[in-house]
Structure formats: C-alpha cells, structure tokens
Amino acid sequence: MAKPNPQPIKPQRYLREWCKERGLDLFITLGGMVAVLLATIYLHFWAPASLTKDTKVVVIPPGKSFHEIARILEDQGIIRDRRSFYLLARIEGSLSKVKAGEYEVHTQMTPGTVLSKLIRGEVIQYPIIIPEGHNLYQIGEILDRAKVCSQKLFLEKVRDPDLIQSLALEGDSLEGYLFPDTYNFPKGLGEEPVIRQMVSRFKTVWGSLARRAEEMGLSRREVVILASMIEKEARDDQERRFIAAVFHNRLNRGMALQSDPTAVYGLKEKRSSITRGDLQRRTPYNTYIISGLPKGPIANPGFKSLQAVLYPAEVNYLYFVSKNDGTHFFSSTLQEHNLAVAKYQKKGKK
C-alpha cells in the first residue's frame, strides 16, 4: 500500500505563524515597558512620599529659587524627587508662582497637591488677639512677638502720611483706627497688610454707627477720640455709657475733661499709678492742661466704647472717681465728688 506524501508547509503560512508568535511576545514586552513607564511616572509625579501620614511644618524663605524650594521639600521628606517636582512645576508653568511662608504639609500629599498649596499661598494662620484699649506701641509688641511683622517697622508704617491718606483717614497716625479683635495672620505677613486688615475691620464697624454720629453732630474722629478715652477709663461694661455722659456733659459746659489716661499717653513705661507730675505734663493730649478733646485718640477702642459715645446715659453726672474695685462713683456736683474722693482715694485726681 502506497504511503501518502506529506504536504509541504507553505512559506506564507509559516511566516504568519512566526509573526503571530513574535507579535504576541513584542506586545507583551511593549506592554510591560509601558507599565513600568507609567509606574515610574506615577511614582515621581503623583505618588505621595510615604504611605504613612507624617505632618510637618515647612518654611519657604522669600527669594528662594524653585530648585532650592524643591530641595527643601525633598530634604524634609515631603516629596520623593526634587527633579521630578521641578519638571512638574515647569510643565504647569508654575516655577515662579510659589509663595514664601510657613506651610503645614504631610507625607501623604501628592507632589501636585503640595505644589498647588504653595502656589495658592495656603500658609499657616495664627490667631492674634488685639485687646480693646491697646495703643499702637502695645499692638506692635503683640505683632512682633508673634513674628507677624517688626514692631519698629509697624510703628513707622502707622505714621506714614501716604498710607494714612490712602486709607482715607485723618490724623498724623492710625491710633484709634486699628480695630481690636481676633485676627488670623501668618508669620512674616508684613506691616501694611496687617494695618489694612485692621483698618478695614474698623470701617466695617463704623458703617453701623456713622448715621448716629451724624445725628449727634459728631465727626468720626471726635467719636473715636472720646471712645478711646472711655476705653481707657472703663473696666465695667455697664459704666461706659455713664463715663460717656460725663464727657459729653463737661464738653457742653466748657469744662476740662480731666481724664487721667490722657495725661500719660505716649509714655512707653507702664504706670501702676498716676502722679501729680503726670497730670501737669504739657502735651496736646493732656486734658488737665488743654480744653476740649485731645489732639487725637489715645488708644484703639472697641465697639462698646464707640457705641457708648453715641448712646450716652441720660444723667447729669460731671465727675467720677475710682472705687478701687474696677468700678467708679459718679457725682453731679463738686461737693459730692470731693466726698467720694475722700472716701475712696487718698489723693483725688478728678
């Protein structure tokens, strides 16, 4: 029986099978390379520096180049690779957009998130309390201690006539117009942004009082001056309207205001008591020496004192003396006042 002849393999079929096998290998190889490339790109551009969350405070000093900023972040473990971070910023056109400051970041943040935070300037904000009745010098001390700005430069800036004019305010300083409140400021913010924010807060508050001042025939500056005196005299909120009434009544009668705090305004050292020598100091603020209002505010008053000026108590008091417990005794006549002084004070000053 004759054996069948084997069919020869056609070259075209062999080539197709070879290409199919090789193509699959090539596809697998290329796919692997792409996967490695994507993993590398992800690791460098999108992956966080760590899988564990470690929060850190990073300071970006002013004037640093992006290369220097990237090195700071890499050294503190916030990003994996500074070169990739630089490339990411370059692709996004953000090399010159990073803002200096103090940032809170953590190691689970992606490089893109870190970059966005630096570009937006999301620096750490610290609550800064400015108490009622503080003067410019005291406010400068608070800001300097908190490292928000320099006290020296702050005191220069609040007396800058160009800044005062740009804020549409009057006087040779901004005393009285820096509204006491709790503010959120970053370290190193600088003098002018701080001042503008505090003045803006004052103007917002004044907006609710301006009509009443106009009804009383008082200018904004007159209200602020009187309010600053009330702020320094009052310890009990209930007394503010009565102290305001005393000042209004004395002004209406042409009497000197004789307010102790005006006699020591401008002294940097703190006084536990006011001396007779203080009362005789010749300054444009001392209401024992001058008639009418002081040259300007002696402190930065809060809302309650501003309101007291515009809504004084309906009383005929002309005098008050400290009872040494945070409150005052009010009198309508000098005889009553002298008796109160003898009772509550060894030496009467008012």
CA dihedral 104, 108, 112, 113 (to 10 degrees): -40
pLDDT, residue 4, reads: 57
What would the DSSP string read from start to end of 212-242?
Answer: HHHHHT--HHHHHHHHHHHHHH-SSGGGHHH
Question: Rounded to 5 degrees, what are φ and ψ at 56?
Answer: -135, 155
Q: End-to-end CA distance of the chain, in Å?
A: 145
| Torsional class of 121: left (φ above 0), alpha (ψ -120 to 50), beta (otherwise) | left
Beta strands 101-106 and 55-60, pairing class: antiparallel
Calpha distance 275→295 (Å, rounded): 22
- Final residue belonging to a domain, choices 206, 234, 269: 206
- Locate tokens 């690779």: which residue? 81
Calpha distance 251→51 (Å, rounded): 71
Q: Are both 143 and 171 inside the same structural domain?
A: yes
Q: Which of 326, 304, 286, 322 is nearest to 244 (CA)?
A: 304
Q: Where are the alpha helices (DSSP H) in 58-135?
A: 66-75, 82-92, 111-120
Q: Is the dihedral of CA 287, 289, 294, 298 positive or negative?
A: negative
3-state secondary structure of 68: helix
Residue 64 belongs to what domain range?
Answer: 55-120
> Does residue 242 fall inside a structural domain?
yes
pLDDT, residue 120, reads: 95
The secondary structure of residue 146, as a DSSP letter, is: T
> Does residue 17 fall inside a structural domain?
no
- Final residue belonging to a domain, choices 120, 137, 162: 120
pLDDT, residue 27, reads: 52
Work out how many domains the chain is built from and give that number. 3
Q: Are both 76 and 116 inside the same structural domain?
A: yes
The secondary structure of residue 151, as a DSSP letter, is: H
Q: Are both 259 and 337 inside the same structural domain?
A: yes
Q: Are both 257 and 301 inside the same structural domain?
A: yes
> Does residue 30 fall inside a structural domain?
no
pLDDT, residue 350, reads: 45
Calpha distance 47→39 (Å, rounded): 9
Helix crossing, 82-92 with 111-120: angle to 10°?
A: 60
- Residue 244 exposed, middle or buried by CB count within 10 Å (0-12, 13-18, 19+): buried
Beta strands 126-129 and 182-185, pairing class: antiparallel
Backbone Cα Rg of the chain:
36
Cα separations (Å) of 266 from 130, 144, 297, 304, 350? 19, 19, 11, 24, 20
Q: Which of 142, 144, 111 is nearest to 128 (CA)?
A: 142
> Does residue 275 fall inside a structural domain?
yes
Residues facing residue 104 across a β-bridge: 57
Q: Are both 95 and 159 inside the same structural domain?
A: no
pLDDT, residue 5, reads: 58
Which residues are CB-contacts of 248 (< 8 A; sequence separation ≥ 6)? Answer: 312
**Which CATH number is 90's domain given?**
3.30.1490.480
> Does residue 28 fall inside a structural domain?
no
pLDDT tens-digit profile, the chain (350 residues): 555 555 555 555 555 565 555 555 555 555 445 444 444 454 455 556 566 788 999 999 999 999 999 999 999 999 989 999 999 999 999 999 999 999 999 988 999 999 999 999 999 999 999 999 999 999 999 999 999 999 999 999 999 999 999 999 999 999 999 999 999 999 999 999 999 999 999 999 999 999 999 999 999 999 999 999 999 999 999 999 999 999 999 999 999 999 999 999 977 666 667 778 778 888 999 999 999 999 999 999 999 999 999 999 999 999 999 998 999 999 999 999 999 999 998 654 44
3-state secondary structure of 194: helix
- Final residue belonging to a domain, choices 120, 143, 164: 120
